[in-house]
A = this chain, B = another copy of it.
Amino acid sequence: MFLSKLDSVKNASNLLNKHQTVTDVELVSIHEAHKRVLAEDIIAFHDSPPFDKSAMDGFAVIAENTFGASQSAPKEFKIIDAIGAGDFSDKTVGEGEAIVIATGAPIPEGANAVIMKEYTTTEGDDLTIYSQVTPGENVSPKSEDIEKGQKILDKNTFIRYPELGLIASAGYDEVRVFKKPTVKVIITGNELVEPTKEEIDKAKIINTNQFTIKALVEDSGAVCEIGHAGDTYDEVKDAILEASKTHDVIMTTGGTAISKGDVVLDVIDEIGEILFHGVAMRPGKPAGAGVVNGKIVFTFSGQPVAAMSQFDVFARKYLFEMQGRSFNFNVVKRTSELKIPSQLGRTDFIRAVCDNEYAKHVLNRGSGIIRSMVEANSYIIIDENDEGYQKNDLVNVVLFDSLLW
């Protein structure tokens, strides 16, 4: 009887780390690779640019021939050819000669610079220039971005848009990435009904976790399927067992049934292993996790805010790292506008509104108050070794923006 000993957030996290799994590797088209995580090093198949490339529309010349040219002392050249984008010229630029060149076209033999069109006039084959250029000016040298054979990205790199461009540039039309984890969320709670504008039956409550947890899973790069189970031992057991065969990760919300204790944890205890249950944190104390058929099971509260915080503290990192992407809170400092009491031995994740300087915690902190999460853009984290903060203390903050996939 009475409360069993609570795990610390750190202990619970360590237990999860020990059971961290990583998804398989799959080959996807470069068209599908945005926001995936590399499961291979990227070794360039090509130089980029593959040749000395004109960076401007203008005229390829020998830079030294332009020295001294100015608006008051123009110089004359003879145009001997023209190179459009995608074309090249077999001619060699000699003294006093110029070749018309488009941005992106290869610099012809002999030339070592491009004078911009804007600083010239032409009449037939006669080119007049009103400015000088230095050797290499307006030329993007061969392989300045990528050298053929060079490793340009490491395995485990997250593919944002610049990485995507670089991978394409290196010649990859498909790329090895970690598979997206498949997550089955099992919503328990006989009281839950779907959102409706109509009157709701007595004792029933609208099911919001199916929406928030699915959105959180998708915000972690994973794929989510929602399921439901009644609050009975057998229904929960069947649902978890089935999900452990079809999905990479299982999450449950709620699942309390007074007559039998916490059904979800009892089930996991029978068919698998409980890693922890009960964590010294607020909100989210009933947080738990276990392993069934080698698959991790996160057991979240039915209370919406508690469930979101439990996800943020435990599941987000797990899902990121399943995909080969390391994840840790990026803790920044803010000045607290209010006094924040806390309790030694407990880690608080306090919903807060932060600007670039100050943090102000949301006052209504009930773990069922979704509006408190709506008002917030960050957590103030109070470590288990701190008893809270005074007004104007520097506090540790994690911005929600920094949590996104």
Contacts and interface: CB of A to CB of B under 8 A. Distances in A.
Identify the interface centre among A1, A101, A153: most chain B CB within 10 Å of its CB.
Answer: A1
A105 B162 CA distance: 51
Identify the interface centre among A119, A195, A302, A371: most chain B CB within 10 Å of its CB.
Answer: A195
A310 to B, nearest CB: 13
Contacts of A400: 160
Contacts of A2: 118-119, 130
A161 interface: yes
Contacts of A55: 303, 366-368
A55 B301 CA distance: 11
A190 B153 contact: no
A104 B254 contact: yes
Given A162-B212, A211-B164, A259-B82, A87 B203 contact: yes
Contact of A206 (B171, B218, B333, B356): B171
A166 interface: yes
A120 B34 CA distance: 54
Nearest to A374: B162
Interface stretch (A10-18, A139-147, A240-248, A338-346): A139-147
A304 B144 CA distance: 13
Given A211-B165, A254-B103, A85 B190 contact: yes
A171 B197 contact: yes
Interface string A167-193: 111111100000000000000011110
Interface in A29-67: 30-31, 34-35, 45-46, 48-51, 53, 55, 57-58
Interface string A80-92: 0011111110000
A373 interface: yes
Contacts of A376: 162
A173 B196 contact: yes
A393 interface: no
Interface residues of A, number: 110
Identify the interface centre among A82, A190, A191: most chain B CB within 10 Å of its CB.
Answer: A191
B88 A218 contact: no
Interface string A209-229: 101101110110000000000
A321 interface: no
A333 B355 CA distance: 12
B231 A84 contact: yes
Contacts of A258: 57-58, 82, 84, 100-102, 117
10 contacts: A50-B200, A87-B191, A103-B254, A146-B371, A153-B374, A165-B308, A166-B371, A169-B206, A171-B195, A332-B356
Closest 10 CB pairs of A and B: A86-B190, A162-B373, A86-B191, A161-B215, A165-B208, A165-B212, A88-B203, A85-B191, A168-B195, A34-B215
Given A57-B262, A88-B202, 7 more contacts: A86-B203, A103-B303, A144-B368, A152-B371, A164-B212, A172-B195, A173-B196
Interface of A: 1-3, 30-31, 34-35, 45-46, 48-51, 53, 55, 57-58, 82-88, 100-106, 117-121, 130, 140, 144-146, 152-153, 160-173, 189-192, 194-197, 200, 202-209, 211-212, 214-216, 218-219, 231, 254, 256-259, 262, 302-304, 308, 330, 332-333, 356, 364, 366-371, 373-374, 376, 400-402, 404
